[in-house]
Amino acid sequence: MMDEYVLIACSALVLIGMTSAILHRDPFDKLISLSILIAGIFPFIIDRGYLDVAAATALIAPLSTIFILYVCRRQIA
């Protein structure tokens, strides 16, 4: 079970990712910050026992990142 230290650490991950995603200008830095945010929400899903939801989310969230990467791909001269 999740006690208060792990809860504070995962909340800190979510808040760090959110603040960093707001403040950065480069789209790659924004994607890295979103990845921190998604990493922070997984222990909360696991703690309630929704293991199938966590497995599905872990496979769907990188797909959304890859689709955003197609948009912000560098133009190769």
From residue 16 to residue 45, the character string flagging contacts with another protein as x (rule: CB under 8 A) and all else as - is xx--x-----x-xx-xxx-xx--xx-xx--
76: which DSSP letter? P
Q: State the DSSP string of 24-41.
A: --SHHHHHHHHHHHHHHH
Closest CA to 2 of 53, 57, 40, 58: 40
CB of 12 to another protein, least distance (A): 5
What's the CA gap between 34 and 23, in Å, rounded?
A: 12
Can you give the binding site for another protein, defined by CB under 8 A?
1-2, 5-6, 9-10, 12-13, 16-17, 20, 26, 28-29, 31-33, 35-36, 39-40, 42-43, 46-47, 49, 51-52, 54-55, 58-59, 61-62, 65-66, 69, 72-74, 76
